[in-house]
Structure 1
Amino acid sequence: MNNLFLFPKTEQYYEDELTRFLRTEQYTDALQLLTFLLQFPNVDESKTEQWEALRHWLYTMFPETMFPTTTQQEEDEEEEKDLLRQYIREKTTDEGYALKLLNLLKEGTLEEQVSALEQLGFLDQPGLGQSVREWLNERPRHPHIQFKALQALKHMGENGIVEFPKNGKTIAVDIEETPLCPEEFPLRIRDMIRRVGDISETSQPDFVYFARQTWQEFLAYAYGTAIYTDLVSAEEGAVDVWASALHAILQEKLFGTVNREEILDNYGIVDSMTLQWKRAHLVLQAFVQQFSPDPS
């Protein structure tokens, strides 16, 4: 790890992410981020000590959060959903609450729009689904918020085809086929990110956390387009192609350098797969350049 370098803007980006995780009590995510950051040798010593102290505090204060059982994780997630449903039901006694959410959807920041969509998904009021459909169809928007809108429509019980502009085209998506969580994506697509974890677990055990986050954003970017269709219909060998392309893109972005030959060798990319790999790499590169902050 001695040849890895954390760029100043990248460090600030992850510091902001860490603050957000702590503010929203996402302690497991905060721990994973701290573990990743502590791998870099070029960081100021005082900053390293601060991160070490924070990681120790998380282990000490929230052991049940740091080491949850699978059953506990599932129970916690379901409890969170129940609390959100209860909160939304209480809010619906205010007849103007749904209108406030729709106004946020139209005029709010990206974070406010995500929050509005998550809450709208739990409301059961006539006309809300149509309002979200019209908002989605109105003009091109960030792929992340478009995907959140599709999930909200599915939560509402909406069905059928919805059309909206994306990546310079008008696409049509079946609402009922929209995945509500990573586990609902097709197996082949899940295998692609699992493969990154298999390759990086020894040398860079926390790398997959950022790969998974980027992959989910990429799936939102690709959903409903020809790119997503290709992912779904890909043959088994495409798992290594897309996983290695993602690995190469992220390694260069995070560390400023990438040993492409080593990555291709680790993933078993042979000469006959080179053209397919270059195409996947170009698609991922275009996505990262468009929607991911420049760390340099």
Structure 2
Amino acid sequence: MLDQYQNQLTRMLESERYGEAKELLRFLLNCQGEEKRHYEEWSNLLTWLDVAFPGHEVTGNGIHTLANGNDEDLDEESLRRDALSSGEYDDAFVQQVLYIMQHHPVADQQILALERAAYLQHPLVEQTIVTWLTSADVHPALQFKALQSLKKLGAAGIIQLERFGETVELDIEATPLSMEDFPPVVIRVVERVESVTEVVDASLPHFARELWKECLQCLYGTSAYTRLQNDDDETVDCYAAALHQVLELSLYGRADDDEVREAYGITDALRFRYEQACRSLRQIVQFKNEHGGQS
């Protein structure tokens, strides 16, 4: 049950439903029987959310609102920018945000700090993110979030990183900020999986898309990502089948490889490319399980 709540909390943070996340954290803090470290993490995260997003709350009828209630004429980006940037901050506040980004043991809080840092106009921010990103052992998903923050800050240039045992050079300005910013093949892969899985279980397409987003954050810039960009039908089939297999392994602990290959038309000629894609995605899921989810 705890894992279910943790996953729900992660999805709320990913979709920026901060008011709902606060409510869930308050609920969890009132529960009994969990390990002390969980309560400390929940309390720290709630404190950070209250500081970072003071206007985001859930009303009695469950509607996510801003404190002033006057958001009719504001688009989503304006609301998000207002929530993330208080407009007034001193050096101590900037240092606090950057410290959380670099050192906090809870990945969700590091992500929130990166989100906030992207809107802090301060000379320390960009260089601190770059230094941390290039000199520390940073989770690949956090690396990607940091690249997104650098792009939002207006940073430019090439940055060299270690990602899954590969040394890669990435153009900060080319970093995708949303799924739509990735090459079209990325959408083709997940849509292929959705079309196959929706007839099996209506909830699977949602999980497939979430898993694919996590994988992309880690694949970005690697040789596996380069292979993905071939953008032909065979590439789509191989990566879609691999995503389907890893999805079933993640949810059920098992997968019928023969059924998966048949569903996506993986012939003997494509077997090597399919297994290569499987290894890449399984490595990401294994790394996530060993080092904790960061999305």
Is it true that 1:179 corresponds to 2:176 in the alignment? yes
Give deviations 1:113-140, integer Å, cap 9, x for gaps. 1111101111222242112111101122
Query: d(CA) in 1 for partners of 2:280 and 2:172?
Result: 25
- Determine which of 91, 94, 106 is the counterpart of 2:90: 94
Is it true that 1:212 corresponds to 2:209 in the alignment? yes
**SS where residue 171 of structure 1 aligns?**
strand
Q: Which moved more, 1:91-100 or 1:103-112?
A: 91-100
RMSD between aligned residues: 2.8
- Determine which of 124, 134, 137 is the counterpart of 1:137: 134
Name the counterpart of 1:248.
Answer: 245
Query: d(CA) in 2 for partners of 1:246 and 1:21?
Result: 19
Instruction: Note closer, same or farther for the CA distance 1:209–1:26 as it changes in structure 2 (3 Å cut).
Output: farther
The correspondence of residues 138-287 of structure 1 with structure 2, limited to 5 A, is 138-287=135-284
Q: Contact 2:85/2:116 (CA < 8 Å) preserved in 1?
A: no
**SS where residue 169 of structure 2 aligns?**
strand
Query: d(CA) in 2 for partners of 1:88 and 1:95?
Result: 17
Q: Contact 1:91/1:97 (CA < 8 Å) preserved in 2?
A: no
**SS where residue 173 of structure 1 aligns?**
strand
Highest relative contact order (Cα 8 Å, sep 6+), 1 or 2? 1
Query: d(CA) in 2 for partners of 1:20 and 1:223?
Result: 21
Query: d(CA) in 1 for partners of 2:235 and 2:130?
Result: 34
Unmatched segments (≥5 aa) in structure 2: 25-60, 65-70
Query: d(CA) in 2 for partners of 1:129 and 1:20?
Result: 26
Name the counterpart of 1:14.
Answer: 4
Shift of 1:152: 0.1
**SS where residue 123 of structure 2 aligns?**
coil
Instruction: Note closer, same or farther for the CA distance 1:289–1:19 as it changes in structure 2 (3 Å cut).
Output: closer
Give deviations 1:266-295, integer Å, cap 9, x for gaps. 21222211121111112222222221379x
Name the counterpart of 1:107.
Answer: 103
Aligned length: 242
Shift of 1:176: 0.7
Q: Contact 1:92/1:98 (CA < 8 Å) preserved in 2?
A: no
> Quick one: percent identity of the two aligned structures?
30
Instruction: Note closer, same or farther for the CA distance 1:211–1:122 as it changes in structure 2 (3 Å cut).
Output: same
Instruction: Note closer, same or farther for the CA distance 1:112–1:266 as it changes in structure 2 (3 Å cut).
Output: same
Instruction: Note closer, same or farther for the CA distance 1:19–1:105 as it changes in structure 2 (3 Å cut).
Output: closer
Shift of 1:92: 3.0
Q: Which one-letter code corresponds to 1:82 in the other structure?
A: S
Name the counterpart of 2:78.
Answer: 82
